[in-house]
Each structure stands twice: as structure tokens, then as C-alpha cells.
Amino acid sequence: MRPMRRNRAAAVGPVPGDGGAPPALELAAVTKTYGEQPPVRALRGVSLTVRKGELMAIVGPSGSGKTTLLHVMGTLERPTTGAVRIDGVDVDSLDDRGLSALRARSIGFVFQQFFLAEHSTVLDNVADGLLYAGVEVRERRRRATEALARVGLEQRASSRPTQMSGGQRQRVAIARALVGRPAIVLADEPTGNLDSATGASIIELLHELNAEGATIVVITHDAELAARLPRQVHVRDGLITSDSTRTGDGETGRIPTRVETRS
Ligand SMILES: Nc1ncnc2c1ncn2[C@@H]1O[C@H](COP(=O)(O)OP(=O)(O)O)[C@@H](O)[C@H]1O
Ligand SMILES: [Mg+2]
């Protein structure tokens, strides 16, 4: 048994659907250093567990290491030291090809700039979320239709992104992230390009999708947005400075960012 394994007795609160399954994501003492002269220590020892079914925010000011953290969590970059596990799989055990396959299967991304293909239909934009999952085109489109229904855009399948509002485009991007039913969805400033009312509707959508079972991590510099999610992890200077959780009745509790295993 590896020492990073979470001490179950120390887990706080019931986690629906947890039932002994591995966490969606685990970081253990992750560091990330860029360059050498001088080295930039973007992450300086981050340990974090995201359990299945969580909806949480990672919040911190500009330069605190949020994007680096997103890249490491999303396996877009490897950590300099420390361990990353996605759905129980140690990233370090995979070569780049294995890593791409894991990413395609297990991680959905949502970005501030949407990143939709403007000349493809909404349906194909969503279906493309399954391109690397080895699913044939008819099945891709069938699942994309379902995912569009989940974000309330089933009527817009044949539209082009250019015919849609910012909020609608972000819904399409969210449908694309969800279509492969990934272990975890990572959203980087998903409301950053939206007015506040539209941003609020996107946050509401994330709550709904989470209630249906999606595990979602929102990265943001916006403390007000973060406060609307059930758990907030604050980062500063490449370190987690606090990790809070709120139970169903609004009570605020704290969960340890790292659990020492003792007998
Ligand atoms: N590719 C990179 N090369 C060198 N330094 C980087 C690189 N990416 C990020 N950094 C540095 O790492 C620190 C954290 O950056 P970042 O993760 O982008 O923070 P945030 O997203 O919170 O603004 C900053 O000092 C930034 O300049
Ligand atoms: Mg950033």
C-alpha cells in the first residue's frame, strides 16, 4: 500500500457514490519548476484529493499557480516531483501515448475562451469530444445529442457557434467536456468571458451537472464565484493555503489537505 493513500477514517462527511472507488484525482506533494536561471517554482508542494461527485473551486490571485495546477491535474504537463493519480492511475506509470489516452478517457476541459470550431456544427463540436475515445461517428453524434440535452441546447444541434451567444457557446463547450463521461471536468475561468448574469447561469448549470454525478473543478481568481461552490481550495505562491468544505446545511467545516497515516 502506498503511503499517499488517504486514511479513510479521516475522510470527512459522506461522499455519494464513493463506495471504495478511487478518488477522481489525487495530487501528492506536487512541485513544478520552470526554467533554471533562475528557476520559477510555480508549485511548491501541493497535495489535494478530489473525490468522485465533488464540485469545487481552486481560487487564488494571478500568478499563484492556478494554470500550472490545472495543467498538472489535467496531465497536460508532468510534475517536476510528486505524484498525480487520475481515477486511481498513476500518471508517472504512463508514456506520452498512454497519457493522451488517459486524458481522452478521464478528463474534460472547459476554457474561458470556449475553443469551439466555428465552421463545425454545434453537434459536431460536441461529438469531437469523443474523437480519441475510439467511438464510431454515429455513436459519437448520438452521445453528443444527449450531452446537448443535458446543457439545454438540444434544439441548437445544427447551429454554428458563431450564431450563438457567449453563454450558449460555453454550454456547448461544457457538453463537449462531458460527452465522454470523464472522471473529472476541469474548468479554467469558465465565466471569465461572460457577463455576470450569464456567468451565474453557467455556475447553476455546473451545479445541476454535479447533482447528476459529474465531478467538477473550477479554477478561478474570483472569490465570489468560488464561494458559490461547495468546496474552496485557496492557493497562493504555489501552495494551498486553505481547504474548506461546506455540508448540506451550509455549515462550514475544514478538511485536511494532507492526511498523515498513523497506526
Ligand atoms: N511555461 C512557463 N515558463 C516559465 N514560467 C512560468 C510558465 N508558466 C507559468 N510560469 C510562472 O509560474 C507562476 C505561476 O503561473 P500560473 O500558473 O500561470 O499562475 P496563475 O494561473 O495563478 O496566474 C508565475 O510566476 C508564472 O510566471
Ligand atoms: Mg492562469
- What ranges do the domains of the chain cover? 8-254
- The ligand with the least distance to the CA atom of 37 is 1
Mention every residue, 6+ apart, whose C-beta is less than 8 A from residue 245. 12, 13, 230, 231, 252, 253, 254, 255
Q: What's the pLDDT band for 135 if we cut at 50, 70, 90?
A: confident
Q: In sequence order, what are the beta bridge partners of 110?
A: 187
pLDDT in tens, 86-130: 999 999 999 999 999 999 889 999 999 899 999 999 999 999 989
Per the model's pLDDT, the better-predicted residue between 98 and 258 turns out to be 98
pLDDT value of position 175: 94
What span, in angstroms and rounded, lies between the C-alpha atoms of 191 and 197?
10
**Ligand 1 pocket, Cβ-based, cut-off 6 angstroms:** 34-35, 40, 42, 60, 62-68
**Residue 239, strand partner residues:** 236
pLDDT of residue 18: 52
- Collapsed DSSP state (helix, strand, coil) of residue 161: helix
Task: Report which of 105, 101, 109 is spatially closest to residue 70, judged by C-alpha positions.
Answer: 109
Mean of pLDDT values over 258-262? 42
Predicted confidence band of residue 133 (pLDDT cuts 50, 70, 90): confident
Q: Return the percentage of the chain with pLDDT > 70, whole number.
A: 86
Residue 20: band (very low, low, confident or very high) from pLDDT cuts 50, 70, 90? confident
180-203 confidence digits (pLDDT tens): 999 999 999 999 999 999 999 999
- Nearest ligand to the C-alpha atom of residue 111: 2
What CA–CA distance (Å, rounded) separates 69 from 168? 27
Answer yes or no: is pLDDT of 150 > 80: yes
Q: What atom of ligand 1 comes closest to residue 62's alpha carbon?
A: 23
Least confident window among 60-74, 165-179, 201-215, 244-258: 244-258
Q: How far apart are CA 42 and CA 261, in angstroms?
A: 27
The mean pLDDT of 217-237, rounded to a whole number, is 95
Question: How far is it, in rounded angstroms, from Cα 246 to Cα 74?
Answer: 25
Q: Vertex 51, ends 234 and 94: CA angle to 5°?
A: 95
Contact 172, 131 (CB under 8 A): no
Whether the predicted pLDDT of 147 surpasses 90:
yes
Computed on alpha carbons and rounded to an integer, the radius of gyration of the chain in Å comes to 18
Q: Of 83, 93, 86, whose CA–CA distance to 27 is shortest?
A: 83
Q: What does the pLDDT read at residue 246? A: 45
β-strand partners of 218: 57, 187
Residues in the chain: 263
Residue 6 is predicted with a pLDDT of 41
Please give the residue that has the higher pLDDT: either 21 or 106. 106
What is the whole-number distance in angstroms between the Cα of residue 179 and the centre of ligand 1? 30
Mean pLDDT to the nearest integer, 59-69: 96
Nearest-atom number in ligand 1 for the CA of 221 is 22
Q: Using alpha carbons, select from 172, 235, 254 the residue that is nearest to residue 46.
A: 235
Query: Rounded to the nearest 5°, which phi and psi values hold at 3?
Result: -65, -20
Is the pLDDT at 248 greater than 70, yes or no? no
What CATH number does the domain located at 8-254 have? 3.40.50.300
Does the structure show a pLDDT above 70 at 29? yes
Ligand 1, atom 18, lies closest to the CA of 67
3-state secondary structure of 235: strand
Contact 214, 183 (CB under 8 A): no
For the segment 132-158, the average pLDDT, to the nearest whole number, is 93
Which of 33, 34, 189, 240, when mutated, tests ligand 1's pocket best, judged by the most ligand atoms within 8 Å of its CB?
34
d(CA 130, CA 137) in angstroms, rounded, equals 9
